[in-house]
Amino acid sequence: MTAGVDSDVFEQLVATVDRFARERLIPAERRVEEEDDVPEDIVAEMKEMGLFGLSTPEEYGGIGLNVPQEARLVEALCYASLTFRSLIGTNVGIGSQGIVMDGTPAQKQQWLPGVASGDVIASFALTEPDNGSDAGGIRTSAKRDEGDFVINGTKRYITNAVRAGVFTVFARTDPDKPGADGVSAFIVPADTPGITIAKPDRKLGQRGTKTSDVIFENVRLPESAIIGGPENLNRGFRTAMKVLDRGRIHVGAMAVGQGQRMLDIATDYALERRQFGKPIGEHQLVQGLLADCQADLLAARALVRATAETFDREGKAILEASCTKYFCTEAAGRIADRALQIHGGAGYMAEYDIERLYRDIRLLRIYEGTSQIQQLVIARRTLAQRTQ
């Protein structure tokens, strides 16, 4: 099991982040929604707290949380809008973990200190216009040219691309190998000639979270840019899957944090709103909605923590991580729907937080592997277990 940080220090950190989310971030949510951006003073505070380096090993300037600790801290942070988490999410998770897990010592030394401090934003470029769930169908190419690789292609919905200092880019290095084979992972500095960042996407929810297309046109890189070095040529998809497994636990924790927020909002409203001469929380049908929310939330929290322990102990948790991502994000969607229903017509009005949270939570069932992809992974793993 990974040591993580001292338990007393960790509990203090969780308390600090919980207070930061409730007292600093929640009051700023409406401003972020209106301006579609996170104020720079909040970004600076998050850097000062070390939030960009939660999962970066201490030797590279990070806090060095293990997976169970990361899950608990993410849950606390995600009591506030998921937009704030998106600022640190790629540095803590998919944008950096490929380097942490599979990078060479030189690659780690070059990039991880900047990632940990937040001075370098790491971004993860896997999805393409024609390949989202079918990540093995990557078309972005990396062709050899006089000892270098030249990358051409477009990546889509890339989180934090407009802020990025470095990308982890997945490209096909062997066109003769089908599917996931023949794909390599490259570390690409954002200022490399030939990279164009499109304007940020407009989205249903999570406003302030920046996603963009990233276009690579004859981007030249040395073979030392392959994560893990030249010996990891054509092994990039393995890196991607390891990163996404851990990321799915992270997303599950996000869902739990937001689920708790929505349940608390719905409970407070049920105590305050009166109909038929009494608070609506005294009506049994409303109580049924609250009970279902609480049951979903407790089950989701338990699953996140159990899976995090498994990943930390065994170094992988493919089946468990997919179950966690699937169940927790679907549960959060159910909680959001019930919480809005408890508000009645008021829940559909923009003046109430539940309207915005309802829109924000919807994305969790799509990124880092849709619910349907998780079902496929879960079913295939379940069937394989019976035939071994």
d(CA 175, CA 297): 45
DSSP 114-162: HHHHTSS-EEEE--BTTBSS-GGG---EEEEETTEEEEEEEEEEEETGG
Tell me the HSE value of 282 on the side-chain side, using a 13 A CA sphere: 8
CA atoms within 13 A on the CB side of 293: 25
* Six-digit token string for 262: 């929505």
Strands (E), 160-208: 166-172, 183-189, 195-197
Show the 3-state SS of 295-321. HHHHHHHHHHHHHHHHHHHHCCCHHHH
Cα separations in angstroms, 225 against 98, 152, 173, 350, 387 = 12, 15, 13, 47, 40
CA pair distance 333, 370, nearest whole angstrom: 13
- State the catalytic residue, choosing from 29, 75, 128, 368: 368
User: Pairing state of beta strands 122-125 and 166-172?
Assistant: parallel
Catalytic annotation present for 368: yes
Catalytic annotation, residues: 368
